[in-house]
Structure 1
Amino acid sequence: MLIVLTRARAVTGSRDRLVTAAVEMARDTRGAPGCVSYTFAADLEDPDVIVCTEVWADRAALDAHLAHPRTSTFLTRVDGLTEAVPEATLHTTTG
């Protein structure tokens, strides 16, 4: 399995638009082939920091998600809503 963790800080005044886009992205992605889990959450200490946790069955499922039109649509919608390029890490696990 692959776990992708992404963290981004919303630009002042853009949190609501970022959250709206994230909710739609999560809803559209959860049923994708190989998607085990896909969630967004706010940091408990800083609600302007949004964290995405993705769990994928394998690399092929993640690659298909990244190539899907919904992903490029989401990235276009959130362009300019975060202070910097989101920080992402990829972890591989067994079991």
Structure 2
Amino acid sequence: MIVVTGSVTARADSFDEVRKLSLEHVRRSRTEPGCISHAVQIDCENPLRLVFFEQWADRAALLAHFAVPASRDFVRSLQSLAAAATTIELYDATRLEKL
């Protein structure tokens, strides 16, 4: 499984648009093959920061997601609305048995 974390900090004047675009992106992504989960949350320490958490079945599913034109458009849209650079981190994860 591939785990993706990311964040975007919106400007105060662009937060509503960033939130709207993010929710649309999450809902669309959940319908893609190989998407296990995809969510966006508001950071309780910085209410202008949205945090993404995603789980994908494998690298191929994630690469297919990145290739979707709407995904690329989403990232481009965020760049003009963000107060700072967006972040993204990818992890190759294996579920551990209970300890």
TM over 0.5: yes
Residue 77 of structure 1: CA displacement?
2.5
1:60 matched residue in structure 2: 60
**Corresponding residue pairs, total:** 95
| Structure of larger gyration radius | 2
TM-score, normalised relative to structure 1: 0.93
Q: Following superposition of structure 1 onto structure 2, how do residues 23-38 of structure 1 map, counting pairs within 5 Å? A: 23-38=23-38
Deviation string for 1:8-57 (max 9, x for gaps)?
21112110000000011111110100000011110011110110111101
1:42 matched residue in structure 2: 42
TM-score, normalised relative to structure 2: 0.89
Instruction: Work out the percentage of aligned pairs sharing the same amino acid.
Output: 35
Unpaired runs of 5+ residues, structure 1, are none
Unpaired runs of 5+ residues, structure 2, are none
Judge which range, 20-29 or 76-85, deviates more: 76-85
Letter of the structure 2 residue corresponding to residue 28 of structure 1: R
Distance in 1 of aligned mates of 2:12 and 2:35: 32
